[in-house]
Chain A
Amino acid sequence: MKRLNSRGSAMIETAMMMPLLVLLLVGMTELARITYTYYTLQKTMYTLARYLSTQQGVNFCDDADSAIVAAKSFAINGTTDGSAQSTLANLTSDMIHVRIEKYDPSTQEVSECECSITGCDTGAGGGPPSFVVVTIPDGYSIRPAIPYLVSESILFKPHVRVPFGGA
């Protein structure tokens, strides 16, 4: 009986430590996965913004513009025709929004450029924007799977601003 008892205490100790260890190890990998996902998203936004900022004749006021569709596809899966798998699960092109911004010399501020001829609607004869900002307005949701903890989904809303170099 006593042998069992003392052996049991060692096992109990180990059993007590195990959840903590598992929590630490799994939590660690989950945190790393979240960081990795955010980095991938951020890279996606940057790729999209850079690709778009070097295109010509982009009509930013038309979401169906072929250059915008190609840029989104290129950022998400590396091909402009959408023939490959997305790098991130559940990331689709309609989640991504391309915001155009213009520098106003009178207020010395950067603000969203309107879709009009006096703004940046190149389809109506307007000029090009100064900056392209790529955002995920509703966020990309990721749920960390950490044992013993019921966690809420985290919403990532990365954005990248790149000067528009095209015409």
Chain B
Amino acid sequence: MLGRVDTRNQSRKAPLIRANERGATSIQIIVILVPVLFGFMGFAVDLGRMYLIRGELNTAANAMAIAAAGRLIGTGQSTTDAVAAAHLTIDNAGGFANKYDFGGLAIGESSGLLTSQVDEPAFYDSRAAAIGEGDAAGGSQATGSTAKHVRVTLQADAPLIFWSFLSLGQSRRAPIAAKAVAGMSAPLCTACGVEPFAVAALDAGDTTNFGFSANTRYTLGYLCNGLGTPGLLQGTTARVPYLILNRLDEEATLFTDEASQIYRIGAQGLLPSKTAAKACIVANAEESIWVTAAPLACAQNRVPATVSSMLCGLASRFDPTTIPTVCASIPEVETIATAYVADTDLTDLDDYVAYTGNLRRVITVPVVQSLAAAGTMTILGFRQFLVEPNFGTTTVNPSDQNGRFVGLYIGSVVPVKQGSFSGCQLAAGPGKVVLHQ
């Protein structure tokens, strides 16, 4: 029909031809505009999808980095554990793994055209090296015993719809990468969930280790008065007296008995609470002794019952199923103990680097200027010990007459579960896991 109109009107009605061609051109223009149109559609649809995928990959990378950093505990095995922990966040066995592309594609697996891979996480001993690009920017990778920070890198392909019709998107996919860096923070001023065993600094001027030596076994024994200082436990080099700081919760609604409370504190550290004053210890703050744990005369050769209950909790870190006789009188102790698991490594270690357990035996204790049974003590900072089984056994002895157990000093290598920073300047001490980038 168009052709007929054209021939008929060719001579007489030139404007009509133009009008007619206008119609034909609109199709031509649209045809020519298709690549442009598809380019624009690509901006809306494909680019939007790429941003979404980048967001999802960032989330996944963050979760992986935080999980990995939580396992960097200064042991030889820590980097292996960290890699395994990181991969748990994208493990879809339960159906709730972090995924990408509208939550549809698994990270680290390929599906059809689209590939995705998780690079081997890189470990560093300093934050600057972990954030910097590669080895040139700030140091080489760290081994398990020194690693404190981890960098996780992920890659995944975003599918293209409209841009795949254009020459630039012929592969029908665009690679997207995400990176996250996590690690131990600066020293915490407020440490939560720690064990309230106050130990006196051997040398308050030594801000790094307070006079303790790494990988040295100390006899931690309860402070007593007068002559007749109790002897050392076998295999240890020095006695470090301790006191229990007061965290009795008068308003507790669960396992309210004082002995039950202190058993739980011994077994897991300060009990979680929304009130920071109950669950945390603050550096530079003044603390006083647990009221019923006032030290006795050394010559009496016994400790307050409260201390024994605390040691019962400590023993549950080695074996929660057997309740020692001395602990049987603690109210509801058998119920409470079902909540705990044993450490997976119960060996008596000379060197912390060889530790392979699940951190049940690691205690974070406040270090004080000097112990004071009456009045207050000033908290200088926090340090960590690995509780060792008594010589030749696999647990500590809660019925010890002097409240003694063996602690291997490990410095501040394990991240504390929770805490905050404001209000102090500490040269060293344990931090918590934070996301750097």
Contact = CB atoms under 8 A, between A and B. Distances in A.
Contact of B96 (A32, A56, A101, A103): A101
Interface in A22-48: 24, 28-29, 31-32, 35-36, 38-39, 42-43, 46
Contacts of A167: 192-193, 269, 272, 279, 417-418
Interface in A44-68: 46, 50, 54-58, 66-67
Nearest to A36: B48
Given A57-B274, A110-B88, A128-B272, A7 B19 contact: yes
A113 to B, nearest CB: 11
A165 B23 contact: no
Interface in A1-35: 2-3, 5-7, 9-11, 13-14, 17, 24, 28-29, 31-32, 35
Interface string B47-84: 01101100110010011001100100000000000000
Contact of B274 (A3, A67, A112): A67
B264 A56 contact: no
A3 B13 contact: yes
A158 B52 CA distance: 12
A13 B23 contact: yes
B88 A103 contact: yes
A125 B55 contact: no
A103 B86 CA distance: 12
A158 B23 contact: no
Nearest to B20: A6
Label chain B's interface by main secondary structure: helix
A72 B70 CA distance: 25
Contact of B344 (A13, A50, A105, A126): A105
A163 B44 contact: no
Contacts, number: 168
B417 A66 contact: no
A114 B264 CA distance: 20
B336 A125 contact: yes
A28 B418 contact: no
A165 B336 contact: no
A161 B63 contact: yes
B225 interface: no
A30 B13 CA distance: 46
B301 interface: no
Given A38-B102, A43-B55, A10 B96 contact: no
Contacts of B418: 54, 56, 165-167
Contacts of A99: 96
A111 B96 CA distance: 9
Contacts of A112: 94
B44 A166 contact: no
Interface stretch (A78-86, A88-96, A115-123): A115-123
B235 interface: no
A165 B417 contact: yes
A17 B254 CA distance: 72
Interface string B332-365: 0001101110001000000000000010000000
Given A35-B49, A56-B279, A99-B96, A10 B26 contact: yes
A144 interface: no
B254 A123 contact: yes
B217 interface: no
B94 A101 contact: yes
Given A2-B5, A131-B89, A165-B70, A125 B272 contact: no
A129 to B, nearest CB: 12
Interface residues of B, number: 66
Given A2-B16, A42-B56, A32 B48 contact: yes
Contacts of A109: 91, 93-94
Contacts of B85: 163
Contact of B273 (A57, A105, A111): A57
Contact of B103 (A57, A118, A126, A157): A157
Contacts of A165: 66, 70, 417-418, 432-433
Nearest to B42: A28
A130 B269 CA distance: 17
B41 interface: yes
Contacts of B94: 101, 109-112
B370 to A, nearest CB: 29
Contact of A38 (B16, B30, B45, B52): B52
Interface string B425-437: 0000000110000
A42 B55 CA distance: 8
Contacts of B52: 35, 38-39, 42
A64 to B, nearest CB: 14
A10 B268 contact: no
B276 interface: yes
Q: Which 5 residue pairs of A and B lie closest in terms of their CB atoms, listed nearest first? A: A10-B23, A167-B193, A57-B272, A163-B67, A35-B48
Given A2-B9, A66-B274, A99-B96, 8 more contacts: A17-B30, A39-B51, A57-B275, A57-B279, A125-B254, A125-B339, A130-B88, A162-B63
13 contacts: A6-B16, A6-B20, A9-B5, A13-B26, A31-B48, A39-B52, A42-B55, A66-B274, A126-B339, A133-B96, A163-B85, A165-B418, A166-B417
